[in-house]
Structure 1
Amino acid sequence: MTTPISRRSLFGTIGAAAAVLFIAGCSTAAPTPAESAADQSLITELGFEGMSAKDIITELDTLPVAERSTQLMASIRPAELILMDATKREAAVPMPADEFYVSVAPYVSQTHDCHFHSLTTCRGELANQDVAVTVTNDKTGEVLVEESLRTYDNGFMGLWLPRGIDATLTLGFDGKSATQSLSTKGNDDATCVTTANLS
């Protein structure tokens, strides 16, 4: 019988690892869907039993950086959330059928390459900052988001958007602005956007 991992040990202090990950950006060791073994018992051990992908993402992406686990890798793909523990066991949780998650880290002077968002390692430049956000459906002109959002402690902000669209993201911060194209159409579309340069 496996012993459940406590939430306290899972979300222990990152310490020096946080500084390394900040410099390196998102980890390149994130699992791919093809490698994922559907070990659903892992979800229970990680403390996520009964939670949807949306619930898990909200919990992990909004967690203070100092409480993020070094024992967990969580990678957001368009179709699924992939969880991997320190022993490299993996489990996949399906994403909502009608919603697509995009995590955005606007920046002024420092960024990193990223395509699929890692909930435990990705760090952006502007942590805990208020940013004006507008998202518009390119085809219909419908404004999907128009509000001030505060970046999480990891420097990212999360957007749940309709699937199957092309959209334009406009950001405003400290008198600077950025415009970014988004797509929620395919299984290779980015869930991590780190190219919105505020200028």
Structure 2
Amino acid sequence: MLKRTVLGRADGTAQSWGHTSIAEMHFDLITQESHCFSCGSVKSRELIVTGEDQKTTTYDLPKDDFFLSIAPYIEHTHPCATHSLTGCQGELADEEFSVTIDDSEGNTVMDTTLMKSQSNGFIDLWLPRDQTYRVTVEHEGRQSEAELSTFESDDTCVTTMQLS
């Protein structure tokens, strides 16, 4: 089982979820095995990496948490379902966003947290599995809302949140 980072909420209480770059999350594990990966993808239950030697290794993701990578955009996006660690590139790299997430019962899961997209333009999140969420992303006066879920058959790559 792989590790994940769990972050606290703004009010100082502990969270049962967290967010981190999946590449950072697995960096220690990958380097401990003394190889670098040349490509990788994240499915709902597993991380699949291919080393420079073309050997593919599969790692189980946490059973209670779902990895979701969101690339908000203004003009340019790409169709995607399974997040590629080395192939997916979002339009808004290294930008700050306000992210709010509510569950299907209206409870706030993440309350307007300021997050920075990675160099690939994606915001990586860990959310509890088997739930539906209302995700709101804001950036420089533009906003996008989407209903996203974390069930077994759901996508790990979201490239449909156009900011307007």
Per the normalisation by structure 2, the TM-score is: 0.78
Higher share of residues assigned helix: 1
Cα shift readout 1:109-148 (whole Å, capped 9, x = no counterpart):
000011111111211000111101011111x211111211
Specify the structure having the higher radius of gyration (Cα): 1
Cα contact 2:37–2:49 (8 A) shared by 1: no
Corresponding residue of 1:180? 146
Q: Counterparts of 1:54 and 1:178 in 2: how far apart (Å)? A: 27
Structure 1 residues 129 and 196: alpha-carbon distance in aligned structure 2, compared to 1, 3 A threshold = same
Corresponding residue of 2:127? 161
Indicate yes or no: 2:163 matched with 1:198.
yes
Q: AA paired with 1:166?
A: T
Higher share of residues assigned strand: 2
Structure 1 residues 191 and 97: alpha-carbon distance in aligned structure 2, compared to 1, 3 A threshold = same
Structure 1 residues 94-105: aligned runs within 5 Å: 94-105=60-71
Query: How far apart are 1:87 and its partner, in Å?
Result: 4.7
Q: AA paired with 2:156?
A: T
Corresponding residue of 2:24? 59
Structure 1 residues 54 and 74: alpha-carbon distance in aligned structure 2, compared to 1, 3 A threshold = farther
Corresponding residue of 1:117? 83
Q: Look up the SS of the partner of 1:59 in the other structure.
A: helix
Unpaired runs of 5+ residues, structure 2, are 6-20, 28-35
Percent of residue pairs identical: 36
Q: Counterparts of 2:74 and 2:26 in 1: how far apart (Å)? A: 21
Q: Quote the RMSD (CA, aligned, Å).
A: 2.2
Q: Counterparts of 2:87 and 2:44 in 1: how far apart (Å)? A: 18
Query: How far apart are 1:195 and its partner, in Å?
Result: 0.3
Query: How far apart are 1:86 and its partner, in Å?
Result: 4.1
Indicate yes or no: 2:96 matched with 1:130.
yes
Q: AA paired with 1:74?
A: G
Number of equivalences: 140
Corresponding residue of 1:29? none
Cα contact 1:104–1:194 (8 A) shared by 2: yes
Query: How far apart are 1:88 and its partner, in Å?
Result: 3.4
Query: How far apart are 1:57 and its partner, in Å?
Result: 1.7
Q: Which contiguous aligned blocks of 4+ residues in structure 1 show a shift greater than 3 angstroms?
A: 53-56
Query: How far apart are 1:53 and its partner, in Å?
Result: 5.8
